C-alpha cells in the first residue's frame, strides 16, 4: 500500500504539471474540514442543494417512485442521504465513501435512529469502476449529491454515468446534484473563504500525504491558490510554493526521491467543474439515462436531477 501510494505520488508530483489527487483531501481531519466548508456563507452549493431537496421533496419522491436500496456514493457524514429516508423510503441504505472510519461512525449513529432500514458502510475509490452484482435484482437509486461529479474530468464523468446506467440493469436511477455556471465572483469567493477553511482543507492534503508515505512537506512552504477558469468552466485549486522548496519522498528500501519546486510553482489539487443545465442533461442522456427531471433554486445556482436508467 505504502509503496504503491509513494509510486503514485512520485509520478504525479514529478510530472510537468505536478498534482496531488483530491482523494488525499479526505483523511479524518480533511473530512471534518469539508463539513465546515459546507457551513460557510460563501460556500453556497450545500445549502442551495438542501433548499432544492426540501422545496421539491414530493416531486423528487414521485420521480424516484420505488427504492429497494439507496446507494449513497460519497456519503460523508450521511446527512444528505438520511434526509431522503422519510420521502423515498428505501428498504436498504448502502453508504460508500473514501474515508472508512468517518463513514462507519456516521452509519452506526444512523442505524440507531432508523433500525428498520438495513444499513452498511463500504470504503471505495470512486475513480475506479463500481460493480454491485449482489444488488442486480434490486431497484437501486444511486445518490450523488453535492456536485461531487464536478470533481471528475468531463470524460471521466461520462464513464461514471455509463457505469451507473449499466449497474441499474434498467431498474433504478440516479439522483444527482451539480453546481451550475454562474458569475465568477460568487464562484471565486466560494473557494477562497475569508476564514481560510478552504485553504486549510487544501493544505491538509500535504499533511495527509506526509502521514501516508512519510514525505516531509512543510505547511509554511505552501499557500492555497484557487480561481475560476472560465474557458474550462472549472474552479482550479492549487498549492503554490512560497519559496524554493525541496521535498523528500522516502524510497522504501531504495534511494529517497527529492523533488524540487521553485517559488511560485503549483501543485494542482482539484478541479471543480460547473455545468449549464442543458449541457448536464445532455451528458446524462448520452450515457443512456432517460426521463431526466430537474429542479433548481430561484437564482439558478445549483441543479438537482433524477435520471432513470
Ligand atoms: C466535494 N466537492 C464537491 C467540493 C467542490 O466544491 O468541488 C470540494 C471542495 N473543494 C473546495 N471546496 C470544496
Residue 236: the pLDDT is 98
pTM of the model as a whole: 0.95
- Residue located via cell numbers 463500481: 130
Residue 190: the pLDDT is 98
Within 8 A by CB and 6+ apart from 229, the residues are 235, 236
* Average pLDDT over all residues of the chain: 96
Ligand 1 center to 228 CA (angstroms): 13
* Three state DSSP letters for 173-235: EEEEEEEECCCHHHHHHHCCCCCCHHHHHHHHHHHHHHHHHCCCCCHHHEEEEEEEEHHHCEE
202 Cβ closer than 6 Å to some ligand 1 atom = no
Domain with 119 in it: 44-183+274-308
146 Cβ closer than 6 Å to some ligand 1 atom = yes
Q: Is 80 exceeded by the pLDDT of residue 306?
A: yes
The protein residue whose alpha carbon is closest to atom 7 in ligand 1 is 272
275 Cβ closer than 6 Å to some ligand 1 atom = no
Does a structural domain hold residue 115? yes
Which of 167, 103, 89 lies closest to 135 in space, CA to CA? 167
CATH of the domain at 53: 3.40.50.150
For a mutational test of ligand 1's pocket, the pick from 151, 153, 193, 199, i.e. the residue with the most ligand atoms closer than 8 A to its C-beta, is: 151
Q: In what order do the strands lie in the sheet with 222-229?
A: 222-229, 234-241, 266-273
Q: Is 90 exceeded by the pLDDT of residue 127?
A: no
74 Cβ closer than 6 Å to some ligand 1 atom = no
Q: Is 80 exceeded by the pLDDT of residue 107?
A: yes
Which letter does DSSP use for residue 18 in this model?
A: -
Percent of the chain at pLDDT > 70 equals: 99
Q: Is 60 exceeded by the pLDDT of residue 1?
A: no
Q: Report the C-alpha gap between 239 and 225 in whole angstroms.
A: 6
ipTM: 0.99
Q: How many domains does the chain have?
A: 1
Ligand 1 center to 266 CA (angstroms): 19
Q: How does pLDDT run across 8-51, given as a tens digit for each residue?
A: 999 999 999 999 999 999 898 998 999 999 999 999 999 999 99
Does a structural domain hold residue 302? yes
- Residue located via cell numbers 426521463: 291
Ligand 1 center to 182 CA (angstroms): 16
Angle between helices 2-14 and 197-213 (to 10 degrees): 130
Residue 3: the pLDDT is 82
The protein residue whose alpha carbon is closest to atom 3 in ligand 1 is 148
Does a structural domain hold residue 148? yes
Ligand 1 center to 66 CA (angstroms): 30
Residue 2: the pLDDT is 63
Ligand 1 center to 256 CA (angstroms): 33
Does a structural domain hold residue 247? no
First-last CA distance in the chain:
36
Atom of ligand 1 nearest to the CA of 148: 3
Ligand 1 center to 272 CA (angstroms): 7
The protein residue whose alpha carbon is closest to atom 6 in ligand 1 is 272
Q: Is 80 exceeded by the pLDDT of residue 297?
A: yes
Atom of ligand 1 nearest to the CA of 179: 6
Within 8 A by CB and 6+ apart from 132, the residues are 71, 140, 167
Q: Report the C-alpha gap between 72 and 214 in whole angstroms.
A: 32
Q: How does pLDDT run across 187-220, given as a tens digit for each residue?
A: 999 999 999 999 999 999 999 999 999 999 999 9
Q: How does pLDDT run across 232-274, given as a tens digit for each residue?
A: 999 999 999 999 999 999 998 889 999 999 999 999 999 999 9
Give me the mean pLDDT over the 280-298 stretch: 98
Percent of the chain at pLDDT > 90 equals: 90
Q: Is 90 exceeded by the pLDDT of residue 77?
A: no
151 Cβ closer than 6 Å to some ligand 1 atom = yes
CB 297 within 8 Å of CB 48: yes
Within 8 A by CB and 6+ apart from 262, the residues are 241, 244
Does a structural domain hold residue 141? yes
CA quadruple 151, 129, 267, 252: dihedral, nearest 10:
150
Phi and psi at 145, nearest 5°, equal -90, -175
22 Cβ closer than 6 Å to some ligand 1 atom = no
Q: Report the C-alpha gap between 253 and 247 in whole angstroms.
A: 18
Does a structural domain hold residue 3? no
Which of 241, 236, 197, 198 lies closest to 219 in space, CA to CA? 241
Does a structural domain hold residue 189? no
* Grid coordinates belonging to 194: 475569508
Does a structural domain hold residue 21? no
Which of 161, 186, 150, 134 lies closest to 286 in space, CA to CA? 161
Burial (CB count within 10 angstroms: exposed 0-12, middle 13-18, buried 19+), residue 285: middle
Residue 254: the pLDDT is 84
37 Cβ closer than 6 Å to some ligand 1 atom = yes
Amino acid at each position: 500500500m505504502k509503496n504503491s501510494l509513494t509510486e503514485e505520488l512520485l509520478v504525479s508530483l514529478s510530472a510537468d504539471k505536478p498534482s496531488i489527487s483530491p482523494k488525499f483531501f479526505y483523511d479524518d481531519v480533511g473530512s471534518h474540514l469539508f463539513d465546515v466548508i459546507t457551513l460557510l456563507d460563501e460556500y453556497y452549493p450545500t445549502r442551495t442543494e438542501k433548499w432544492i431537496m426540501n422545496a421539491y421533496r414530493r416531486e423528487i419522491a414521485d420521480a424516484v417512485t420505488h427504492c429497494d436500496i439507496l446507494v449513497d456514493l460519497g456519503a460523508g457524514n450521511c446527512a444528505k442521504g438520511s434526509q431522503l429516508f422519510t420521502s423515498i423510503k428505501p428498504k436498504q441504505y448502502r453508504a460508500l465513501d473514501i474515508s472508512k472510519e468517518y463513514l462507519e461512525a456516521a452509519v452506526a449513529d444512523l442505524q440507531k435512529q432508523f433500525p428498520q432500514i438495513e444499513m452498511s458502510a463500504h470504503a471505495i475509490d470512486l475513480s475506479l469502476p463500481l460493480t454491485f452484482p449482489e444488488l442486480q435484482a434490486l431497484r437501486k437509486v444511486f445518490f450523488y449529491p453535492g456536485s461531487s461529479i464536478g470533481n471528475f474530468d468531463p470524460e471521466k464523468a461520462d464513464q461514471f454515468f455509463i457505469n451507473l446506467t449499466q449497474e441499474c440493469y434498467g431498474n433504478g436511477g440516479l439522483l444527482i446534484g451539480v453546481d451550475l455556471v454562474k458569475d465568477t465572483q460568487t464562484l471565486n469567493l466560494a473557494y477562497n473563504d475569508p476564514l481560510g477553511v478552504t485553504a486549510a482543507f487544501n493544505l491538509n492534503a500535504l499533511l495527509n500525504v506526509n502521514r501516508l508515505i512519510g514525505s516531509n512537506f512543510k505547511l509554511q512552504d505552501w499557500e492555497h491558490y484557487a480561481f475560476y477558469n472560465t474557458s474550462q468552466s472549472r474552479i482550479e485549486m492549487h498549492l503554490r510554493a512560497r519559496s524554493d522548496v525541496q521535498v523528500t519522498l522516502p524510497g522504501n528500501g531504495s534511494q529517497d526521491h527529492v523533488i524540487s519546486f521553485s517559488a511560485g510553482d503549483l501543485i494542482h489539487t482539484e478541479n471543480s467543474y460547473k455545468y449549464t443545465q442543458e449541457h448536464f442533461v445532455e451528458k446524462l442522456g448520452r450515457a443512456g439515462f432517460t426521463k431526466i427531471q430537474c429542479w433548481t433554486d430561484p437564482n439558478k445556482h445549483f441543479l438537482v436531477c433524477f435520471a432513470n436508467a
